[in-house]
Structure 1
């Protein structure tokens, strides 16, 4: 029997299907990720949660070549723009050789096991659109 995937951060990420949750201000219609109790744009109370688009593009990135023990390197860490939602998310990006990543590349939200958890915990990740 397979263990069900459990989100490492259920307040910002659900697993089936992989979905990021943002706060949404009913006053100025701003979405924010990670979710915030106070709208960063107008200061209103912002307790509504909405799902974000699963499709984005790389805005900027870095190839991480040194990390704490237990975390395999190299890996790509990127800011991913979700144009449909006007939100930018920092995330690990899989599906690219580190030297082949490019700004503007299409990516799609997914999930991956937490490297050293061993308990079925997953975190969100974006993947190269071709690799999804």
Structure 2
């Protein structure tokens, strides 16, 4: 199961609107011992790398028992990370310093979802903000 975006994934991601701000939803399922590896990855990002690209963690927390989901759809952790633009995210993942620590993330996970989100109400077509 893939846990890192491919070059094709990033190309499609940037094609939507490279200058648009984005909040990335991260759903994480850890390998044995993966929480510790992921914690080292997160620490490396929070100190220098995320601020360098104007990014910030909006929310990070452990997943609980799913209330509405099929068996096996629970996630160990959920993160929301805001980036000032899709281009900023793309530049971050290409950064040599990020490349040095991304192996910690890859080793930490057995499965992941990395999904860009868009706020409701921007163009009126996506629904109203609750």
Q: Structure 1 length as normaliser, TM-score?
A: 0.28
Which has the larger share of strand?
Answer: 1
Which has the larger share of helix?
Answer: 2
* Greater length-normalized contact order (CA 8 Å, ≥ 6 residues apart): 2
Q: Structure 2 length as normaliser, TM-score?
A: 0.28
